[in-house]
């Protein structure tokens, strides 16, 4: 099966950013500095194959990375809630309902941990938004201990029109909240529709729990060497880790030979 997928001509490469394209950029995000190998691999396929990200990052961060890499294709951002072109124009978006946002903000106010809220394309860190509450696509909690994570999951489950994913990392847990119909899976399906291509023509690359939804919507599912076990279990192929230019390796192995 993998041999057949190795020989296929792919039209879209979709990768997560933190832990996949690059080591975690942090919050607020530090400057993205691509390796020479990654730049070289992308330069060989840009304009011939669509290259996109499927990430929880906001518009400004993604546009900067696209500019640095010379990318021209649409991008899935804000956890799958929004698709933009590289100028920042919104091609598709789904906001969290104001009913759920009001409940989530009440919880935020009494939770003593770092968080961010993406409001109308801008990520606000550790500050409760008071305007444009009808234009919130995502809410994130960071560095949560296990017991607090479980309590928050119970409270969030009462908001029936949202989806939330827990990612485990070295500093604790991260909870990422979007509308129920704006997960990474929904973003991938919409982008495939916009580009008028088939699922089998898409490579998905990821490392975290929330990338499972991304990979399951792709013809070739690639886990990074540093990926969590859940992602490796569903992968068709395991690439080198993020410190070893896993994304560049994927381009060299699956894309370049079939251009």
Q: Where are the domains of the chain?
A: 2-93+183-258, 98-179
pTM above 0.95, yes or no: no
Determine the Cα–Cα distance for residues 146 and 129; give it in Å rounded to an integer.
26
CA distance 70 to 39: 9
Q: What is the mean pLDDT of the chain?
A: 92
For residue range 110-156, what is the model confidence (pLDDT) as tens digits?
A: 887 889 999 998 899 899 999 999 999 999 988 888 888 888 899 99
Using DSSP, state whether 151 is helix, strand or coil. helix
Compute φ and ψ for 209, nearest 5 degrees: -55, -40
| pLDDT above 60 for 170 | no
Residue 64 sits at φ, ψ, to 5 deg, of -65, -40
CATH fold for domain 98-179: 3.30.1240
pLDDT at 215: 97
List pLDDT tens digits, range 32-42: 999 999 999 99
> Count of H helices and E strands in the chain?
9, 13
Strand segments, DSSP code E, in 145-233 are 162-169, 172-179, 202-206, 220-223
Q: What pLDDT sits at residue 183?
A: 85
φ/ψ region of 143 (left if φ > 0, alpha if ψ in -120 to 50, else beta) reads left
Please compute, for residue 70, the number of CA atoms within 13 A of its CA located in the half-sphere on the CB side: 12
Q: At residue 4, does pLDDT exceed 80?
A: no
Two domains, one topology: 2-93+183-258 and 98-179: no
What CATH number does domain 2-93+183-258 carry, 3.50.50.60, 3.40.50.1000, 3.40.630.30, 1.10.1370.30?
A: 3.40.50.1000
């Amino acid at each position: 099966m993998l041999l057949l997928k190795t020989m296929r001509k792919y039209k879209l490469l979709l990768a997560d950013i933190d832990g996949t394209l690059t080591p975690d950029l942090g919050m607020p995000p530090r400057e993205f500095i691509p390796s020479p190998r990654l730049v070289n691999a992308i330069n060989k396929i840009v304009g011939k194959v669509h290259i996109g990200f499927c990430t929880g990052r906001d518009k400004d961060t993604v546009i900067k990375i696209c500019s640095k890499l010379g990318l021209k294709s649409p991008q899935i951002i804000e956890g799958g809630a929004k698709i933009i072109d590289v100028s920042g124009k919104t091609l598709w978006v789904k906001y969290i309902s104001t009913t759920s946002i009001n409940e989530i903000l009440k919880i935020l106010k009494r939770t003593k941990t770092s968080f961010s809220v993406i409001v109308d394309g801008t990520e606000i860190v550790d500050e409760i938004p008071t305007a444009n509450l009808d234009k919130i696509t995502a809410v994130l909690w960071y560095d949560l201990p296990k017991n607090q994570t479980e309590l928050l999951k119970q409270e969030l489950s009462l908001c029936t029109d949202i989806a939330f994913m827990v990612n485990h990392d070295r500093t604790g847990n991260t909870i990422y909240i979007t509308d129920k119909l704006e997960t990474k899976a929904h973003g991938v399906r919409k982008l495939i529709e916009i580009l008028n291509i088939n699922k089998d023509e898409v490579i998905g690359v990821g490392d975290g729990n929330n990338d499972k939804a991304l990979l399951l919507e792709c013809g070739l599912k690639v886990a990074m060497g540093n990926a969590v076990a859940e992602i490796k279990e569903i992968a068709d192929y395991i690439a080198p880790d993020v410190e070893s230019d896993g994304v560049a390796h994927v381009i060299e192995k699956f894309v370049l030979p079939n251009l």
